[in-house]
Amino acid sequence: MGKKRNKKTLVWRPKLKSRTPQNEMRNWLDLPRDITISILSRLRAAEILESAQKVCMAWRNFCKDPLMWRTIDMANDGDYDDMFYDLDEMCHHAVDRSCSHLVDINIEHFGSNDLLEYITDSCGGIRRLRLVSCDMIFDEGLGKVASKLTMLEELEISLCNFSCTSLQVVGRSCPLLKSFKFNRSNLSDDAIGVFNYYDENPLRKDDEAFAVAGTMNGLHHLQLFANRLTNDGLMKILDCCPHFESLDLRHCFNLNLKGALGKRCAERIKQLRLPNDSIQDYEFRVAASDCDDYGFYDDPEEDNGFYYDPAEFDCDEYRCYARDFYGYDSDDSDFYDDFTKLGVSDFPF
């Protein structure tokens, strides 16, 4: 007798229906109003004004709710070649939408003294202001609006050109200020020595530190990235600001924190970042190879063979071109395509 073969047992299983039929329709208008507003409010201002509000009339109405504009995020990468709207005009429109409910605004790579004045005139309850690479906002502009920022609690100024005088005015005008960031881009190793060498008056290295110490005594958080302050400036800050919880001194290479001053910082401050600590999480890092001998960003690929001759540059012609090309239309039209009823297969995920 031969070996018995194992009989194969066949098991029948019913075919399960797909939980999400391919032709199922989702109506995003079925979401509760507060959830929809919560989702839309996470978008940047340009995404709301140029995209979200044009989906349908319901979303259009949500986007006109002043509470949607308590926070205005005008973040962008500064690449104007890919931008087809005027950021100043768009910011004006977003501020108008807030109906004076604005409490938090972020301005990056654009802005002017007039825009800053318009924002502070329109909204008296701003608690957080962030300015990044705002080359056309100057000392007089910031100083003029400082008295209208009495509710300000958080201020960030990064990659801008404000003097210690502006910091003093802001400090005196904003008694509720708890968090202050005053940052530059990091310097390449070669540029650090040049940066210190060309500082003509060593006594002025601590001007910004003294401005902070003299007018911002209620600070809990301070970031001074790539600042020129010395031990004298840091000691003055510690003496005058007793409430510190965090202090970021990365790339402040004029400091020597090996002695008693470093010990004082370590014992008193919970979150302390030292000059040589990692800058991996710093937003405005610049690779050493991208810096010129003075530590400034230089991208040779941006030249594209273009030679700039100041004598041939017509400023008026350029302004007209920029205004016409980047004109922003607030688009108050009531006609929109309805994209809220889409099948699951219509989405890329």
pLDDT computed for residue 349 by the predictor: 37
CA separation, residue 23 to residues 16, 19, 27, 96, 343 (Å): 17, 11, 13, 41, 6
The predicted model gives 286-304 an average pLDDT of 44
* pTM for this prediction: 0.76
Span of 6-10, 14-18, 320-324 with lowest mean pLDDT: 320-324
pLDDT computed for residue 49 by the predictor: 94
Residue 339 has pLDDT above 80, yes or no: no
Residue 315 has pLDDT above 60, yes or no: no
pLDDT band at 274; cut points 50, 70, 90? very high
- Higher pLDDT: 99 or 290? It is 99
Span of 26-35, 110-119, 214-223 with lowest mean pLDDT: 26-35
Q: How far apart are the first and last CA of the chain?
A: 60
Residue 203 has pLDDT above 90, yes or no: no
Tens of pLDDT, residue by residue over 65-99, are 999 999 999 999 888 776 778 999 999 999 999 99
Residue 332 has pLDDT above 70, yes or no: no
pLDDT computed for residue 277 by the predictor: 96
Q: How many of the other CB atoms lie within 10 Å of CB of 166?
A: 22
Tens of pLDDT, residue by residue over 219-268, are 999 999 999 999 999 999 999 999 999 999 999 999 999 999 999 999 99
- Higher pLDDT: 202 or 270? It is 270
Superfamily per CATH, domain 69-187+204-273: Ribonuclease Inhibitor (3.80.10.10)
Contact assessment for residue 328 and residue 93, using Cβ atoms and an 8 Å cutoff: yes
Distance CA 65, CA 307 (A): 48
pLDDT band at 304; cut points 50, 70, 90? very low
pLDDT band at 18; cut points 50, 70, 90? low
pLDDT band at 148; cut points 50, 70, 90? very high
pLDDT computed for residue 77 by the predictor: 87
Residue in the block written with tokens 């090996």: 258
- Higher pLDDT: 87 or 204? It is 87
The predicted model gives 10-24 an average pLDDT of 58
Phi, psi of 117 (to 5 degrees): -65, -40
Residue 302 has pLDDT above 60, yes or no: no
Distance CA 28, CA 175 (A): 45
- Higher pLDDT: 308 or 206? It is 206
Helix (H) or strand (E) holding 343: strand 341-343
pLDDT band at 131; cut points 50, 70, 90? very high
Residue 320 has pLDDT above 80, yes or no: no
Contact assessment for residue 44 and residue 75, using Cβ atoms and an 8 Å cutoff: yes
- Higher pLDDT: 318 or 57? It is 57
pLDDT computed for residue 212 by the predictor: 98
Distance CA 24, CA 200 (A): 71
The predicted model gives 185-203 an average pLDDT of 50
Contact assessment for residue 95 and residue 115, using Cβ atoms and an 8 Å cutoff: no
